[in-house]
Structures are given as structure tokens and as C-alpha cells.
Amino acid sequence: MYLKIDWPQFDSDDCQVAVQAAQSMAKRFREDIAIMPNLAVVLLRHTQQTPLEIIRYQPEAKGFTND
């Protein structure tokens, strides 16, 4: 027996924007970020339901920058 789940249909560009936003937020807030099933991007500590994806904050190594 299979459970049918009706996931909302999202364009791949929408998903990419959500991931990029989550990565930017993780760097800015220095916290883990959750992408919710509706593609909302929120701080992981503020979620009350299971996220679709979690973007983990990874501090940069000393002496290295993205510039």
C-alpha cells in the first residue's frame, strides 16, 4: 500500500531561489535555516513543522573569505 502525498507544484527556478535565499540567510544570521514545504525560508529555531530542507550554517575558516 502506498500513501499518496499531494505536493504543491513548484517551478525549479522557485526552488533554486529558495535555496539561494537560505544560504544567504545562514551566512547573515549565522544560524541554520529551514526551507518549508511552501518554499518559505525561516530560521530553523522558529519552525514548528517539519521542513522540506535544512541549510546548515558553516562558519568560514580563519583567514579565508568569499571575496
Q: What is the pLDDT along the chain (67 residues), one digit of tens a residue?
A: 666 666 667 788 888 999 999 999 999 999 999 999 999 999 999 999 999 999 999 987 676 666 5
pTM of the model: 0.76
Domain ranges of the chain: 12-55
| CA distances from residue 30 to 20, 38, 49, 51, 63 in whole angstroms, order as listed | 15, 23, 21, 18, 18
Q: Give the strand pairing for 41-43 and 33-35.
A: antiparallel
